[in-house]
Amino acid sequence: MFKKLFGFKKGEKKEAAKEEAVYAPLSGKLIHLEDVPDPVFSQKMMGDGVAIEPKEGVVVSPVEGEIIQLFHTKHAVGIRSQTGAEILIHIGLETVNMNGEGFEAHAKEGDRVKVGDPLITCDLTLIKEKAASTITPIIVTNGDAFETLLMEAPSEVERGTAKVFDIKVK
């Protein structure tokens, strides 16, 4: 009966997805990671991805998955997607020094999220005053597990609806 209803037998796990689209977690201008004014991100030391220069301080989930890390300073969040991709959204540059000021979390570790679910809101004006930049990298931190990471061309993107890259499992 379970196989008919869900496509798998009782006790058998559903197979992980092999390909997945990652959507913009913020509205703003999509930029190449190499153009981020921070060598940790621009030299891809943490992994490959893209960045967004946000026009508003609302961060939503770019994938369906689970929150695996919410930094106590609320300036960054990690999500494990259906393909197993571990996606880091790092709001602004050098924002860890703000110690959570101007950030409000709307999700917690262990929460299941869908594309567009609110994760964090932040005060972009305060970030501009107290941090190096509002530019927000979106990084796949376990990229070795993926065959391809196909980026979209730089443009204006809307949170939760504009695709920023596709990932394919090896």
Please give the model's pTM, rounded to 2 decimal places. Answer: 0.90
Checking if the pLDDT of 3 tops 70, the result is no
Q: What is the 3-state secondary structure of 94-149?
A: CHHHHCCCCEEECCCCCCEECCCCEEEEECHHHHHHHCCECCEEEEECCHHHEEEE
Mean pLDDT of 144-149: 84
Longest CA–CA span in the chain (Å) reads 59
**Domains detected in the chain:** 16-169 (2.70.70.10)
Predicted confidence at residue 9, as pLDDT, reads 45
pLDDT digits (tens, 9 = 90+) for 147-164: 878 888 889 999 999 999
Is residue 86 very low, low, confident or very high in pLDDT (cuts 50, 70, 90)?
very high
What percentage of the chain has pLDDT greater than the value 70? Answer: 91
Mean pLDDT of 28-46: 96
Mean pLDDT of 116-143: 97
Mean pLDDT of 2-22: 60
Is residue 6 very low, low, confident or very high in pLDDT (cuts 50, 70, 90)?
very low
Is residue 8 very low, low, confident or very high in pLDDT (cuts 50, 70, 90)?
very low
Is residue 15 very low, low, confident or very high in pLDDT (cuts 50, 70, 90)?
low
Active site residues: 90
**3-class secondary structure, 88:** strand
Predicted confidence at residue 10, as pLDDT, reads 46
Closest of 133, 129, 124 to residue 58, by C-alpha? 124
pLDDT digits (tens, 9 = 90+) for 93-110: 999 999 999 999 999 999
